[in-house]
Amino acid sequence: MWRIRGLTAARQVLQARHATTQAGFTAEAIPQGFFRHHPILVSDGPLHDEQRKEVARFFAPAVVARRHLPDIESRAAAFAADAARAGGTCLLDELALRFTVEVTRGIVGIDNSSLDGMCRRLVSFFNQPPLDVTKPDYGRTRAQWARAAFNALVPIARFYLADVRPAIRARRRNPGDDVVSHLLAEGYSTADILVECVTYGTAGMVTTREFIVMAAWHLLENDELRARYLVAGEKERFAILHELLRLEPVVGHLYRRVQEPVEITDGGSSWTVPAGDLVDICVRQTNTDPQAVGEHPAEVCPGRTMPPGADATGMAFSDGAHKCPGRPLAITETDRFLLRLLGHGPVLVQAPTLEWDNLIEGYILRGMRLRFPAAGAADTENTEDSCPR
């Protein structure tokens, strides 16, 4: 296995179209012939290119700005205002999850069920035993694989019965302008649609929640940066969020299997990664590569000069064929929600605990508690969760 810690080398691996394939998210354990349409997160080649082209109409920057922004802004304002009016304290990770699920499920087309129920079902997907993609059989014992299957199949069955099946039935009767309606029109089977909805739910809604909490943590502990964020225009606010995500990528490792030899040139050196080898792109290290991002790579510097063609977030949204199509939506959601929330002047009562999820190779932040001025000085010691439901 090759570990890549340089931004230039990482981009070359990810942009080696058809010479590398997805190896993260247990992609290589999914049978190729099981689905009529292989899930977009783990597919490769012409099929993946066509899938990306089709979903662009829902997540492209212009589409997000034109079609989804009004709904995002209204929901962000409502969630933030309700939290501020509730008094007492509020757990930000719960509030952020409800917001991201509420926004994204309407775009995907699975909004025919209870919001709180869907949130619980999506979170349950991450209750998995540890794995190691570098080891045979992912380093799991038979008992761990049995537990992984049970912990995955039961939540998937619940998600299908409570969320996906009602959505499919509703869209068959009355198609809308959403992902599920599009998949039905393209002839996707029920199993194919279910897996895509799981992908959008876990890789989209839940991971955006983590970044919202991380970004809020940075902004609440940095008075100068928070003040700058609250008065800035959209371009500058996005630059701040991009820089925070460069430093705090939600997914920490990207894995690729080399199918054809890949030539890498970086820093005056060159080498060849042979076919069959596994590549681990260490996102935190690539994003703080001083040769690529400049001086003080571990400090927050919005508007930082990046190499030509490199994203301002580094590898946080990946690159090449598997670059995250939901990037514009995730940044816009985070921005509008934080802008409204911080506008109510919350105080950080309790910092979150930091844990790690082996499936997505990313952080989990829980227990970040906020108190709003509306709660009054008498509520300083009140730790009751009063987030609106």
Confidence of residue 44 (pLDDT cuts 50, 70, 90): confident
Domain locations along the chain:
2-30+42-373
Task: Mention every residue, 6+ apart, whose C-beta is less than 8 A from residue 201.
Answer: 101, 104, 105, 108, 110, 118, 122, 125, 159
Looking at the domain 2-30+42-373, which fold is it? Answer: Cytochrome p450 (1.10.630)
Query: What share of the chain has pLDDT > 90, as a percent?
Result: 62
Contact between 229 and 255 under an 8 Å Cβ cutoff? The reply is no
Lowest mean pLDDT among 39-53, 228-242, 294-308: 39-53
The pLDDT of residue 352 is 96
The pLDDT of residue 106 is 93
Q: What is the pLDDT of residues 349-377, one digit of tens each?
A: 999 999 988 777 889 999 999 999 854 44
Sign (positive/negative) of CA torsion 313, 315, 317, 318?
A: positive
Which is higher by pLDDT, 186 or 230? 230
pLDDT at 31 over 70: no
Mean pLDDT across 284-295: 94
The pLDDT of residue 41 is 65
Q: What is the pLDDT of residues 293-334, one digit of tens each?
A: 999 999 999 999 999 999 999 999 999 888 888 899 999 999
Q: What is the pLDDT of residues 57-72, one digit of tens each?
A: 888 899 999 999 999 9
Mean pLDDT computed over every residue of the chain? 88
Confidence of residue 382 (pLDDT cuts 50, 70, 90): very low
Instruction: Dump the DSSP string for 167-182.
Output: HHHHHHHS--SSHHHH
The pLDDT of residue 43 is 66
pLDDT at 107 over 90: yes
pLDDT at 383 over 70: no
C-alpha span between 166 and 160 (Å, rounded): 8
Full-model pTM: 0.90
Contact between 318 and 10 under an 8 Å Cβ cutoff? The reply is no
Mean pLDDT across 216-232: 97
Q: What is the pLDDT of residues 160-181, one digit of tens each?
A: 999 999 999 999 999 999 999 9
C-alpha span between 246 and 7 (Å, rounded): 12
